[in-house]
Structure 1
Amino acid sequence: MSRDFDLLIVGGGLVGGSLALALRDTPLRVGIVEALTETQRLALAAGDRALALARGTVQILDRLGIWQDVAGKAMPIRHIHVSDRGRFGKTRLHAGEKGIDALGQVIVARTLEDRIAQELQGLDAELVCPARVIGLKAGPEAVCVTVKKGDECLNLTASLVVAADGGNSTVRKLLEIEQKVRDYQQTAIVTEVATEADVNFTAYERFTSAGPLALLPLERRKCSVVWTMENQDADELLSESDSNFTANLQTAFGYWLGKIQLASKRQGFPLKLIRAEKMADDRVLLIGNAMHQIHPVAGQGFNLGLRDAAFLAEQLSTRLAFNEDIGENAFLARYVRARQRDLANTIHFTDSLIRAFCTDFPPLALARNAALVALDCFPPAKRLLARHAMGYGFRL
């Protein structure tokens, strides 16, 4: 079989689905290749994770017509509390100081996935699912994509292929694009806790001797926990009983929210900084986790991927207005140059936090605590930190 598209998106999840929705009012013929059935998607444990959405991300989702339907299931972040356990350094950010209702939002990934999946059903785009890409070959005017759907092989053509198929991107592998990998030798322990006190719309980032500990508000008395530490320490904590783990967590976090109790099982995820060697090939672009996977310390992963999709949609719409080839190499090169700054700044920001706060070396510990105090007292620096928290500090 042969089907022709202007744009073929490989991966219909959060980032790929958002790209398709951003282009729904354009004349583009869009196809979406998705490997997972709806049943398989709903069974994935990754759907249970909490997403910290920057204010800029919420605005993008609102423009896509998604946010208004999920806002009631999200928890606003009106305060951010940053501290270094056992030391004097603290910084606090408040939405009211910026004259806004919230610095960001916390939402369960599956809630957002479900809404995007529902919206995709109403699109004119063609969904090829469940299906996997097994071959790619770019020509002067189009890229030919071979897709395996059950026992059937489909030969699809498109002016541009966008790979949004995650960290194990099949498209990236078929193009033999290498990755730069930095293993942090760390594991993120993810769970949920019930709290004795009302979280009061506050997100906590607490730097402990073991590693960064984030508590994100899910409900008035419930938080998502992301605790990063060295692999060996994480293995030991994951093997502890629930009561011992809770005691360790309580000691690390303190009693800012009173006593805490585990509210879900614990899971461990190894942490690496992964970047594809290049973002574009002939008539192919990589976006989201297919291109980059970063440390979760600042919660920027999905926010960065959504900015990839939103910016691409803007550039494609401009390209269409002049009736120009959307897969032209010069156009793709301009997109790559424009996105590199955001990617580099985001990686530098998260990397700097890890380097500064994952050590107990006394001079560095003293310097970072002085920096936290300075941030709390110096309005220009505090405004810059707030812009990063809201997802504006990385914009072009």
Structure 2
Amino acid sequence: MSEAFDIAIVGAGPVGAGLALALDGAGYRVAVIEAAPPSSETGSTFDARSLALAWASRQVLATTDPALWAEIEAGAAPIHRIHVSDRGRPGFARLDRDDEQVPALGYVVENRLLGRALHAALDRSGVTLFCPARVTAVDRSPRRARVLAEGPEGRVDLTASLLVAADGGNSAVREGAGIGTHRVEYGQTAIIANVAPALDPGTTAWERFTETGPLALLPLTEGRCSLVWTCRQGEEEELLGLDDAAFLQRLETRFGGRLGGFTAVGERHAYPLGLQYAERFTARRLAVIGNAAHVLHPVAGQGYNLGLRDAAVLAEVLADARRAGRDPGDETLLTDYARRRRADYARTTAFTDGLVRTFSNAVAPVAALRAAGLVALDRLPPARHALARQAMGLGGPVPRLARGLAP
């Protein structure tokens, strides 16, 4: 016998868990299926991976569950300022929380801390969590979706009016629904690591554009920075093969001396970079969110925040449907969700893609215009404000959760 739910979410990562929590208390019976067991990692580690949370994402999480946000904030590093520069050329731009009248432009939080807080919130919610459980089959009929999964305790068999694919860039649920993806390769690779600068990074995030791509240093707790160093594809092997001293020296040459050099680096990992997006965000009885719908270049840290806004808007659409007594898997409702996400997705993708292409172009006239643009940006408050709003996730219509309102 299948266990019946209103909504089944495949994937309990930050976006899938965020949607489940946003729907808790909305009157739906919600199930979440997650293949990976909860991490047992405890304590602080130098090498912990991290995410940048925009101000709008902070609002979504805090509105969803104040206790959840309190736990995250206790271990997060706030971003009060963002310094943007172009290597080897004059001019820079600065964004500041005071200009935007917010406590922080964003926050940097370790993945393990965020995951632990989200899973704790799921445990105390009314959401049913199947974890670990790996989806083995999905069938979507005109009236219901059926999901089969396997876990340590045996077979999971459930039905739902709406199935949500939140299972990442290689989403099996999306592929099983016949939704293809488009991918644009940038010819770049990201080197990800944590580093310790000689000077305390404080609350400033640095975005430095170089001829091989952007280099970002985001403040972490304990005087560390999260490094995202974009290099040309093929150069990553050399950077990964350097000893720590040589790597840090190369980093200082590339970044400059604003942080007094670097004293330590943790494990280094390389990831090829590209833009990937689903051909559509819905199918019969199915909504696609987060990385299953779109994967962005990490410049400006927009990827997770765009995905969490997917969850916030879908929660809003579903909450309205519940109040109106509508079927949560109704085709017109899903069409409304896709329509409401279109503008934000197009704007954020254009913003990210434009930064990558413009600031990776070494042609002299383009570089000169770039430098002039940064000078103008720093001196024009309306332009700075528009850029800050986009970076904060407030560049377009803002979901109710991001405004501090219930969905």
Does TM, scored on the shorter chain, surpass 0.5?
yes
- Counterpart Cα distance in 2 of 1:76 and 1:162: 31
* 1:347-375 C-alpha deviation (Å, 9 max, x unpaired): 10000001110021100000111110110
- What residue in structure 1 maps to residue 327 of structure 2? 325
Which amino acid is 1:85 matched to?
Answer: R
User: Is the CA contact (8 Å cut-off) linking 1:22 and 1:313 kept in structure 2?
Assistant: yes
User: Is the CA contact (8 Å cut-off) linking 2:41 and 2:112 kept in structure 1?
Assistant: no
- What residue in structure 2 maps to residue 204 of structure 1? 206
User: Is the CA contact (8 Å cut-off) linking 1:7 and 1:158 kept in structure 2?
Assistant: yes
- Counterpart Cα distance in 1 of 2:49 and 2:145: 35
* 1:145-174 C-alpha deviation (Å, 9 max, x unpaired): 222335844432110001111112120121
User: What is the CA-CA distance between 1:29 and the residue it aligns to?
Assistant: 0.8
- What residue in structure 1 maps to residue 376 of structure 2? 374
- Counterpart Cα distance in 2 of 1:251 and 1:82: 17
User: Is the CA contact (8 Å cut-off) linking 1:191 and 1:263 kept in structure 2?
Assistant: yes
- What residue in structure 2 maps to residue 90 of structure 1? 92
Which amino acid is 1:33 matched to?
Answer: I
Q: Structure 2: state its 5+ residue gaps.
A: 399-407
- What residue in structure 1 maps to residue 17 of structure 2? 17
Correspondence for 1:159 among 153, 158, 161: 161
- What residue in structure 2 maps to residue 6 of structure 1? 6
Aligned ranges 1:243-322 → 2 under 5 Å: 243-322=245-324
User: Is the CA contact (8 Å cut-off) linking 2:75 and 2:221 kept in structure 1?
Assistant: no
SS in 1 for 2:113: helix
User: Is the CA contact (8 Å cut-off) linking 2:197 and 2:224 kept in structure 1?
Assistant: yes
The alignment's TM-score, normalised by the length of structure 2, stands at 0.93
- What residue in structure 2 maps to residue 31 of structure 1? 31
- Counterpart Cα distance in 2 of 1:10 and 1:40: 21
Which amino acid is 1:60 matched to?
Answer: V
2:61 matches 1:61: yes
User: Is the CA contact (8 Å cut-off) linking 2:39 and 2:116 kept in structure 1?
Assistant: no
SS in 2 for 1:19: helix
User: Is the CA contact (8 Å cut-off) linking 2:77 and 2:221 kept in structure 1?
Assistant: yes
User: Is the CA contact (8 Å cut-off) linking 1:187 and 1:230 kept in structure 2?
Assistant: yes
Distance 1:389 1:80, change over 3 A: same
- Counterpart Cα distance in 2 of 1:180 and 1:315: 27
Distance 1:308 1:175, change over 3 A: same
- Counterpart Cα distance in 2 of 1:223 and 1:28: 41
Aligned-residue sequence identity (percent) comes to 45
Distance 1:158 1:374, change over 3 A: same
Aligned ranges 1:172-251 → 2 under 5 Å: 172-219=174-221, 221-251=223-253
* Total equivalences in the alignment: 393
Query: Greater CA deviation, 367-376 or 62-71?
Result: 62-71
Which amino acid is 2:275 matched to?
Answer: L
User: What is the CA-CA distance between 1:243 and the residue it aligns to?
Assistant: 1.4
- Counterpart Cα distance in 2 of 1:35 and 1:135: 13
- Counterpart Cα distance in 2 of 1:249 and 1:394: 36
- What residue in structure 2 maps to residue 351 of structure 1? 353
Which amino acid is 1:280 matched to?
Answer: T
Distance 1:173 1:41, change over 3 A: farther
- Counterpart Cα distance in 2 of 1:194 and 1:234: 21
User: Is the CA contact (8 Å cut-off) linking 2:7 and 2:161 kept in structure 1?
Assistant: yes
User: What is the CA-CA distance between 1:176 and the residue it aligns to?
Assistant: 2.3
Which amino acid is 1:259 matched to?
Answer: G
- Counterpart Cα distance in 1 of 2:73 and 2:207: 23
User: What is the CA-CA distance between 1:143 and the residue it aligns to?
Assistant: 1.4
- Counterpart Cα distance in 2 of 1:195 and 1:154: 48
- Counterpart Cα distance in 2 of 1:346 and 1:294: 9
Query: Greater CA deviation, 173-182 or 363-372?
Result: 173-182
- Counterpart Cα distance in 2 of 1:193 and 1:40: 24
Query: Greater CA deviation, 291-300 or 125-134?
Result: 125-134
2:338 matches 1:336: yes
Query: Greater CA deviation, 164-173 or 112-121?
Result: 164-173
Distance 1:263 1:5, change over 3 A: same
Which amino acid is 2:72 matched to?
Answer: V
Which amino acid is 1:289 matched to?
Answer: N
- Counterpart Cα distance in 2 of 1:91 and 1:183: 28
2:390 matches 1:388: yes
User: What is the CA-CA distance between 1:15 and the residue it aligns to?
Assistant: 0.8
User: Is the CA contact (8 Å cut-off) linking 2:248 and 2:265 kept in structure 1?
Assistant: no
* 1:220-272 C-alpha deviation (Å, 9 max, x unpaired): 63211101111112222111221111111000111101121223111111112
Runs of 4+ displaced beyond 6 Å: none
User: Is the CA contact (8 Å cut-off) linking 1:200 and 1:220 kept in structure 2?
Assistant: no
